[in-house]
Amino acid sequence: MTNTHAPLLDPLDMADITTPNRVWMAPLTRSRSTAGDCEQTPLHALYYAQRAGAGLIVSEATQISHEGQGYAWTPGIFTDDQVESWKLVTDAVHNAGGRIFCQLWHVGAISHQVFQPEGGAPVSASVWTPEGGAFVGDRLSEGPTVPFPEARALELSEIPRLLDDYRHAARCAARAGFDGVEVHAANGYLIDQFLRSSTNRRDDEYGGSLENRLRLLDEVVAAVTEVLPAGRVGVRLSPMGGPGGSSDARPEETYPEAAAKLAGRGLAYLHVVRPNGHTGSGGSDEGNAIVKDMRKRFDGVFVANGEFSTEEAAQWIADGHADAIAFGRLFIANPDLPARIAAGGPYEEANEDTFYGGGAEGYVDYPTLDRVSDTLPVPA
C-alpha cells in the first residue's frame, strides 16, 4: 500500500452504517436480467458477491415499475418474484461480508412503448423527444436500438401514484434484504428531467422556478423516507450529462440548491456524478467546481463518481472534497478493487464489448489479485 492511497482504505461512519473503506462500487447497468419479468439470477449473486469488499455496493439501476423501465434486460424491484430473485444477491453479498443498497430508478422519457404499460408513451416532466435511441434488445425486429419516441408530460394527477411507486419499491427493497436504497435522481432520467430547464417546461407547481423544479425530488425523498429510516436512504445527482441530450441552463445554481434541499434530513449520503467522458458531457473544471460546491451545501456523507483514478480519488478525500469515491469500470474489471488499491495494483482493463448483455464472459470471469499473483514478476 502506498501512503497516497491510504485515505481510501479508512472506515467511514454514515448515519446507520459503517463501511470498512471508502472504495464504493458505483451502480452499473449490465443488462443481464431475465427478459420480460426483469429478475435476477444466480449469476448476479456471484457477480455482486465477488465485489463484496467494496465499502458499499450500489446496485445496478433497478426500475420501480413497468413505466420506469427504459432498457432491455434490466431488473425491477416491484413484484414478489423480483424481490425473491434479489434475495439471492443480497444473501450472497452479506455472506461475503458486504453491504448493498438498491438504486431506485425511473427513466422517464428515456424509454420506448415496448416497455410501457399497454404500449403507451413514456412520461417526462414535459412533452419531449430525447436525442438518440432506446436500447430495446430483441423486443423489435428493427434492431437492438431504435429512435426514442415522443414522451408525454406526466399529469399532475399522476404524481401521487408515482410517489406510491417509489414507496412500494422501497418496501420491496427492504423485503429483498437490501441494506438501504439510493434514489436515482441523476443522468437525465425522470427526476432529473424535472430538475433540468431544457426538459421541464411545466406551468404548474412542478415547473418554472427552481423551487418548483426541485419539488419532485423533494417529494420522492420524503416518500421513500416514510418507508425506510433516512439513514438508509442515499440520493444520486449529476449536474451534467446522461442519455437523451437534456441540460440545465444554470447547473451551477440548480444542483448546489438541490444538495441544500437534501441537507438536514439525516440521509445516508449524497452521491454526485461529475461530468465525464462516459456520460457524454466530458470532464470540465466547471463541473468539478459545481460538485465541490454541492459538497459544501450538503451536511452529510458526500460521495463523488466519474472517471477517478485511484490517486485522484485518494486526493479528493484527503482534501475534504468527498468522503468516499464510487468506482465503475475499475470495479467491473477488478472485483477485489480495495485489495488491489491496498497492494498498489496491478489493475485489469475492462472489456467494453461485454458491458451490456451476454452471460458470464466479461461479468464474473475477471481475476482477483490472488489468481494473477503467480504470473507477476517477483520484486527485486
Q: Convert the pLDDT of each residue in 2-31 to its tens digit.
A: 457 899 999 999 989 999 999 999 999 999
Answer yes or no: 189 catalytic.
Answer: yes
* 345 closest CA partner among 328, 359, 330: 330
pLDDT in the model for residue 275: 81
Higher pLDDT, 194 or 375: 194
Residue 234 CA: distances (Å) to CA of 31, 66, 72, 148, 160: 23, 23, 26, 30, 21
Second CATH level (architecture) for the domain 6-354: Alpha-Beta Barrel (3.20)
pLDDT digits (tens, 9 = 90+) for 290-322: 999 999 999 999 999 999 999 999 999 999 999
- Residue 339: is it exposed, middle or buried by C-beta count within 10 angstroms (0-12/13-18/19+)? middle
CA distance 197 to 178: 34
Task: Give the tens place of pLDDT for each residue, 237-287.
Answer: 999 989 999 999 999 999 999 999 999 999 999 999 998 766 666 556 677
Contact 77, 83 (CB under 8 A): yes
What CA–CA distance (Å, rounded) separates 136 from 261? 35
Cβ–Cβ contacts within 10 Å for residue 260, how many? 16
> How far is it, in rounded angstroms, from Cα 67 to Cα 225?
22
Q: Which of 47, 166, 189, 356 is catalytic?
A: 189
Q: Which residue has the higher pLDDT, 280 or 223?
A: 223
Gap between the Cα atoms of 340 and 279, Å rounded: 26
Return all residues near 136 (Cβ < 8 A) that are at least 6 apart: 72, 112, 114, 115, 144, 145, 146
Rounded to 10 degrees, what is the CA torsion of 96, 98, 101, 103?
-70
74-110, pLDDT tens digit by residue?
999 999 999 999 999 999 999 999 999 999 999 999 9
- pLDDT tens for 157-204 read 999 999 999 999 999 999 999 999 999 999 999 999 999 999 999 999
Which sequence spans correspond to the domains of the chain? 6-354
Distance CA 293, CA 257 (A): 10
Nearest to 113 by CA among 138, 148, 87, 65: 148
HSE (CB half, 13 Å, CA atoms) of 101? 30
CA 148/CA 123 separation, integer angstroms: 12
CB 325 within 8 A of CB 5: no
